[in-house]
Structure 1
Amino acid sequence: MIKKIRLLFTLISFFQINAQILDEYPKNQDFYEGGLSNFYKEINDYLIKNNVSECDSKQIYQPRIIVTKDSGVKIIQDSDTENISNNKCAYDLSMAIIKNLNHWKPAEVKGNKYGAITEFIIYPKDLFKNYKVQYNPENFVINAQYPNGNKAFDKEFHDNFMTLFADYHINGVVNIEFYINHEGKIVNPRIYPAIDNRAFNIDFMRTLARLKKVWKPALYSNLPIKQRIAFPVKFSTNFTER
């Protein structure tokens, strides 16, 4: 098993993120030099070089991090302690990887570098003897599914939120984000950029609660994993669907 390591980088709460941190990488940009294939190749190289022991085949973990504009790394604290405990070997492996890999790549917008949030899958079984060149775990993920499909979600989202948007007369485009956890439940919902209207935010969360049906969680190698769901919505008195 991986030895416990003392993290020399900062664990931070999601809500402490500086405004200069992008919520996600711009389209077609990678968080690591050489892209995901090189990222996982360097993980495999690290594991072999350091003779790291394998984890149980049911272990899987998904770290969420900030790659800073200076190519450093900060971990976004994971509040799901039960999942960490159930996947302790994969979690420890993730922490070791984050600490020891060096080619993190900040986001870039109009020639300027920015820190950005990203996440990735660590499934140890595919990173040791099963590792294959050009490995990308995203190619093997079965996405989370809403009961009766995406069209049903779109309709229920529209039906529940149309009145809310009209009532508050909020115009413009914002992004909605939530996660489908391992049990298929909606967790950690938020709107970004933030809307400075407490009453609206309370009503938004209440409205979202009406959609809290149990989804079929995303799967990787038949193991349930959490999955981020994010999409833009245009707020206006004439509500436009996502």
Structure 2
Amino acid sequence: MKKFYLFNLFLISALGFSQENGIYLYPAGQEAYFGGKQQLYKDLHKNLVEHNFEKCKDTLQHFKVALIIKKDASVSIIRNTDDSLKIAENKCAYDLSKKVLVYLKNWKPAIYQNQKTAAIYE
């Protein structure tokens, strides 16, 4: 009986959190950035040049950033535990991504069931 109550408590709290903080992948056909990926890359390049960020010495470094675009269009980087090795191997690219992200302001929250919602963008 005790296990049943614990399971129900877990289920109720999980459902409550999922409805309140529902994070989904961006729905098909929606863009996370005004102007789409093309404008994102233009703004990314523009900010790298304007703010005179130092290039990585190892030009083969790369890091694919996964982001959460929140309801208010603010952005956070998602770090998985699996990313630690990738970050260590590509530290310069990861750090550069974090620095330039601050200057990218044209993010759009996802729309899910006619409501703005936080969503994952990769």
Using structure 2 for the length normalisation, give the TM-score: 0.76
**Partner residue, 1:89:** 92
- Out of 59, 66, 69, the position equivalent to 1:67 is 69
Residue 85 of structure 1: how far off its partner (Å): 1.1
Residue 23 of structure 1: how far off its partner (Å): 2.3
The list of structure 1 runs, each at least 4 consecutive aligned residues, that deviate by more than 4 angstroms after superposition, is none
Q: Distance in 1 between matches of 2:42 and 2:92?
A: 20
1 or 2, which has the higher strand percentage? 1
Residue 82 of structure 1: how far off its partner (Å): 1.6
**Partner residue, 2:120:** 117
SS at match of 2:43: helix
Deviations 1:81-135 (A, max 9, x none): 121011011101111122221111100124321110111xxxxxxxxxxxxxxxx
SS at match of 1:100: coil
- The AA in structure 2 aligned to 1:75 is I
- Structure 1 residue runs of 5 or longer lacking an equivalent are 1-17, 120-242
Work out whether residues 32 and 103 of structure 1, in 8 Å CA contact, stay in contact via their aligned partners in 2. yes
SS at match of 1:89: helix
- Structure 2 residue runs of 5 or longer lacking an equivalent are 1-16
**Partner residue, 1:24:** 25
Residue 33 of structure 1: how far off its partner (Å): 0.9
**Partner residue, 1:37:** 38
Listed as ranges, the matches of 1:138-149 within 5 Å are none
Considering Cα pairs closer than 8 Å and 6+ residues apart, tell me whether 1 or 2 has the greater RCO.
Answer: 2
Residue 21 of structure 1: how far off its partner (Å): 2.8
- Decide which moves more: 65-74 or 18-27: 18-27
- Out of 57, 60, 63, the position equivalent to 2:59 is 57
Q: Distance in 2 between matches of 1:95 and 1:25?
A: 21
**Partner residue, 2:10:** none
**Partner residue, 1:153:** none
| Count of matched residue pairs | 102
